[in-house]
Amino acid sequence: MKKAEMKVYRDRLLALRARLRGDVDQMADAALNKSRSEANGDLSSMPIHMADLGTDNYEQEFALGLMDSERKILHEIDDALNRIAEGTYGICEGTGEPIPKARLEAQPWARYCVDYARMVEEGRVEGV
């Protein structure tokens, strides 16, 4: 892969990382730092209905799940940026073959070609 192409992918990865970090921080603030009364502006100390409590718990768990997914992607992005720095970006870690540009366009942090990624997901080979 040419240096100009690497720079394009690096810039995309950096922009995506910055956006995801902002999203994770915002979700963390919303999910972890606000009680129901703060969120609604309710200063009353009256007990909350059980259904409201269940909704709050569901929303918090959902936000935490999204945060976990986005943190995993942030880790993959950091790994991809390291591969760019090392000059190994765009090479499948399983086969050593180039990863098609269409895959890198769709998932710029990809470490495997589609066929090898499928084998990892199916448990037929170990991920590197």
For the chain, what are the domain ranges? 3-89, 90-128
From residue 117, give the alpha-carbon distance in Å to each of 3, 81, 98, 112. Answer: 25, 19, 13, 5
Tell me if residue 92 falls in helix, strand or coil. coil
The residues of the chain scoring below 70 in pLDDT are 23-50, 52-53
The reported pLDDT for the residue numbered 1 is: 80
For residue 63, the tally of other CB atoms under 10 A from its CB is 17
Q: Which CATH number fits domain 3-89: 2.70.170.10, 1.10.357.10, 1.20.120.910, 3.50.50.60?
A: 1.20.120.910
For tokens 């720095």, the residue is 85
CA 20/CA 106 separation, integer angstroms:
16
pTM, entire model: 0.71
Tell me if residue 108 falls in helix, strand or coil. coil
The reported pLDDT for the residue numbered 61 is: 78
Tell me if residue 84 falls in helix, strand or coil. helix
The reported pLDDT for the residue numbered 38 is: 52
Question: What residues contact residue 8 under an 8 Å CB cut-off, 6+ apart?
Answer: none
The reported pLDDT for the residue numbered 67 is: 77
For tokens 């591969």, the residue is 83
Q: What is the CA radius of gyration of the chain?
A: 20
